[in-house]
Amino acid sequence: MSYYISPRFLDKLAVHITKNFLQLPGVRVPLILGIHGRKGEGKTFQCELVFEKMGFEPVTISGGELESPDAGDPARLIRLRYREASEQVKVRGQMCALFINDLDAGAGRFDAGTQYTVNTQLVNATLMNIADNPTNVQLPGSYDETPLNRIPIIVTGNDFSTLYAPLIRDGRMEKFYWEPTREERIGVLRGIFQTDELSQQDITQLVDTFPEQSLDFFSAVRSRIYDEQIRDFIHQLGVERISKRIVNSIEKAPDFQKPNFKLPHLIEMGQLMVAEQKRIQEMRLVEEYNQFRTFNTQFGASPIPQENRQQSLNPIPHSPYNPIMPPHPINRTGATVMQGDSSGSTLVSGGKFISTKLGIDVLEKIDQILSSGYRIGLEYADKRRFKTGSWNSCGLKGSESEEDIIQGIETCLKEHSQDYIRLLGIDPIAKRRVMEMVIQKPE
């Protein structure tokens, strides 16, 4: 099976590697190439195809190796692998590269809850030092005056904004955002599905049916097609005998016929997988569990009486102010929602009428967070960062009054009208998030 290599990806990677092995007068070449983008778009696999096409095998480090119970081990590992790649160039007489997978997962800091260790600092410092002195990379406790061969470093990740800013500055790291175009996605699918499985027209229609899905989605769809035959094989043989038949068996491996790769069957499987994705996003059981912990003490008792909590979260049966949307008490300060729906609300707080564009559901969430003793947080993200789960703080002043909080939220909504915005509940003692709610989505 011949896989597709994007010409754009091939050019970027080949130019960077070749440029680092050339002596260009008066030119400072960045040592590191950072390839970032959405999850599942084939960054690592495309790199491996380019390495194979260029005729060399890189020295690889996984992001999971960048942490250790012993301080300094990951930094030493990076230096050791870099020197190993340099030795391969000398011995084999061919190019080589240091390939670090998922750098942001091992050395990035995603939020205040991510532990920032000594190893994280040393990994960032080591990569910065190697980028500045690529021919003088020493191991701790030893020194060798012999200059090393310059070795280009290729790193992949989803969001490089989580990395230490001086590491990713221009001059040290050249950035390449990988987002396959429609033509590139069609080309990749031609490699996934052989020509006798799907026609060019079918592949194009499959891509257009699932335009928001990553490339690994289509590979998973192809894999799932085989589930039907494997299920039949298990049922015929018996679940209790399947282990002895497959593992260390003297019989030949079972043969499976070519599955049904017709386009309607693939679309049906793809829609089932999309439904599973949506179910995960909609369930959000962690929020339900955190809310349960919010209203329960260490010994299982609720600090808020059940009748008060029902009154706080449910409307009153009747009211002279608005029979459709009755007043809603905000227990914490005695504020009352006089009118409210999904488009806006009017409150009475401290003897003052407060009109707000926030819906009743947002006010209920604010009430729930503050009544539990937590602080309000606010974050925003554009469409690209929303896909990668990278949010920026839209800071509130930390005021305790609902009026100031509402004004701060309205200001953020106005300033970031084309962005996603979510409301957070933050436990000030444990320094963790306990509730989340997306209150704005771009049109």
- What are 176-210's pLDDT values in tens digits? 999 999 999 999 998 888 766 788 899 999 999 99
Q: Give the closest residue to 383 by CA, choosing from 179, 206, 182, 205.
A: 179
Q: Which token pair is 45?
A: 């696999």
Given a contact cutoff of 8 angstroms between Cβ atoms, the answer to whether 104 and 160 are in contact is: yes
Query: Among 58-67, 101-110, 277-286, where is mean pLDDT lowest?
Result: 277-286
d(CA 368, CA 372): 6
The number of CA neighbours under 13 Å toward the Cβ of 264 is 0
Which pTM value belongs to this model?
Answer: 0.64
Q: What value does the mean pLDDT take over residues 9-15?
A: 96
Percent of the chain with pLDDT over 70: 80
Confidence of residue 308 (pLDDT cuts 50, 70, 90): very low
Instruction: Give 306-311 contacts, CB < 8 A, sequence gap 24+.
Output: none
Give me the pLDDT at residue 325, please. 38
pLDDT at 427 over 50: yes
Backbone angles phi, psi at 84, to 5 degrees: -65, -40
Q: What value does the mean pLDDT take over residues 357-378?
A: 82
Give me the pLDDT at residue 328, please. 43
Give me the pLDDT at residue 428, please. 78
CATH 3.40.50.300 domain locations along the chain:
7-177
pLDDT at 309 over 80: no
Q: Which token pair is 182?
A: 């429609």
pLDDT at 353 over 70: no
Confidence of residue 355 (pLDDT cuts 50, 70, 90): low
Give me the pLDDT at residue 315, please. 39
CATH 3.30.190.10 domain locations along the chain:
285-440
SS3 143: coil
pLDDT at 27 over 80: yes
d(CA 416, CA 388): 18
Confidence of residue 112 (pLDDT cuts 50, 70, 90): low
Given a contact cutoff of 8 angstroms between Cβ atoms, the answer to whether 36 and 175 are in contact is: yes
Give me the pLDDT at residue 212, please. 87
Q: What is the mean pLDDT of the chain?
A: 81
Q: What value does the mean pLDDT take over residues 292-299?
A: 47
User: Would you identify the CATH topology of the domain 182-283?
Assistant: Helicase, Ruva Protein; domain 3 (1.10.8)
pLDDT at 67 over 70: yes
Q: Which residues contact 228 (CB under 8 A, 6 or more apart)?
A: 259
Q: What value does the mean pLDDT take over residues 33-49?
A: 94
Give me the pLDDT at residue 374, please. 85
C-alpha distances out from residue 385 to 139, 162, 292, 436, Å: 38, 12, 30, 17
Q: What value does the mean pLDDT take over residues 346-368?
A: 68
CATH of domain 285-440: 3.30.190.10
Confidence of residue 8 (pLDDT cuts 50, 70, 90): very high
CATH 1.10.8.1070 domain locations along the chain:
182-283
d(CA 384, CA 419): 10
Q: What is the architecture of the domain spanning 7-177?
A: 3-Layer(aba) Sandwich (3.40)
Confidence of residue 405 (pLDDT cuts 50, 70, 90): confident
pLDDT at 298 over 60: no
What is the DSSP secondary structure assignment for residue 400, as one 8-state letter?
S
Confidence of residue 324 (pLDDT cuts 50, 70, 90): very low
Q: Give the closest residue to 403 by CA, choosing from 370, 427, 434, 428.
A: 370
pLDDT at 293 over 70: no
Given a contact cutoff of 8 angstroms between Cβ atoms, the answer to whether 410 and 383 are in contact is: no
